[in-house]
Structure 1
Amino acid sequence: MDFNALCTQNWSRHFSIWIEDIQVVCHPVVTAPFQIQVNVLRKARSLSRYTAMVVVLLFSLHCTRPQATPVVTVPEAEAPEAADEPNEHSDAKVYTETGEASWYGAGDGFTGRATANGETFDPMDLTCAHRTLPFGTKLEVRNLDTGKRAILRVNDRGPFIRGRMLDVSEKAAKELGMHGRGTSRVRIRSVDTKGKPAPIDPAAMVGDAYTVQVAALTDPANIARISKELQSAVGPVNLVEARTRGGVTVKRVRVGSYATQDEAQKASDLISKLFRDRGLEPFITREN
């Protein structure tokens, strides 16, 4: 019969055969000099029976024990971005805005020129330009494309390009990871001197009137024509001379002087309605 290692009865049978072999070897009568050896073998035979029983018992337990279920380690999901620390101000009071940001620096010809608040522009300062926020406002700017952040101070007006919300300095662009890209989508919110979310001081929001910029033109005939039409339909027009990044001198055509942003918004909506066929897209900014 073939030996089956998985059958406990086969193990028991073969142990019995092994023990009987020992008995056969020990049966012949031997002389005295070999008596001690025979006695040792007899004791070994007796002990072997008990050993065989223990081995059979252990093997039976091993064969009947259920297979262990392998433990599969599942990697933990990446932790979400840490939430901002709680602060004493509600989200309703903290100024937030999302839009397109660009940057300006040494290569644009603005270095050494005066910013809107009278400072000398330094591209290596962490500053920015916004159309309406008070000068000195601290902003946390988060680049939504890279996740990088920087704390910037408003010291200039702009950007005066359609579809853009913020202009940052060259150093700020590097910290935000947008220097090589030119523009990025960002989210801004007002913060205090420690960089924690905080509302803008209401007193800082008054004293600098709002106005509506309609266009930036170079041709004198166009400037005169659009100015006349705007003044007739909406109100007084103000022309502000400025230089673009390309070094071109333009006249910014602006309408009205409004104490609140709501009043300026109504004027902007009216201009958009009256001049929609002219391709004009007015936006609100400050007079200074």
Structure 2
Amino acid sequence: MRKPERVGAEGLPNRVTIYEVGPRDGLQNEDAIVDVAIKAEFIQRLADAGLTTIETTSFVHPKWVPQLADAAELLSRLNLPEGLRTPVLVPNERGLDRALEAGVSEIAIFASATETFAAKNLNSTVDDQFAMFAPTVRRALDEGLTVRGYVSMCYGDPWEGDVPIDQVVKVGARLVELGCHELSLGDTIGVATPGQVTALIKAFEAAGVGVDRLAVHFHDTYGQALANTLTALREGVTTVDSSAGGLGGCPYAESATGNLATEDLVWQLDGLGIETGVDLEKLVTTSVWMAGQLGKPSASRVVQALAG
């Protein structure tokens, strides 16, 4: 299998952590329910390919995301290497109860930077969402869990248009104050460009949230995900969210297309000499297999090129 020539560039990290979201964010938008055995094998294959952080599922109410109704059963089926991080998304305290029963050690919560998306996704307002998050985060921390905070609609909202940077920073800073160890800044509808990425990261730093607390989560609606990722790396970010095969979208934002494909990200990072620990060949094989299970081709350009 062809590999990129490794030619490094100044101002980039030596290693990047890939936060794989395919099993959760990638599959949640699939209309046909994926069998739990297939999900478990998907996660196992991702681990075998060298991914060290795999967001496995969500303990959201099954009525809202039927695809992830099998969260507890899925986790009970997994037999993964020691040290592998397997965070889960929880929406509230009820979700946390279920996650604790399943024995998780790391959770993520999902906040909105805009009022309209908060209403549609959380049935809340931007301010009121924190009243929901606070007891969830507090209990999780008391139980010894680590908590990640997602901030959605960081660069643009399909209903409200451009999103002011200070609005995003305010939401993110409040998540840090609650106890989130990391913020994932989401370009939910894929409209960001590199200048915006730089400006947002610098604004967080100016507000006292260091780049070491930030991760990036780009969608590729307008083909900007890799360019935006490279920009974030130049600003010091070392954690990047991506989805094997480019799976995913957002069920509450119809203009949100797939996530940045993990294979496309790994190809770029390998070419830059940045270590990830991921075996690209195994990853491509995994995404080809998963595409077959879903009955549709992979959206990843690297998968298409290498497996075509």
TM-score, normalising length: structure 2 = 0.23
More strand as a share of residues: 1
**Structure having the larger proportion of residues in helix:** 2
Kindly indicate whether structure 1 or structure 2 has the higher relative contact order, using CA contacts under 8 Å at least 6 residues apart.
Answer: 2
Q: Which has the larger radius of gyration?
A: 1
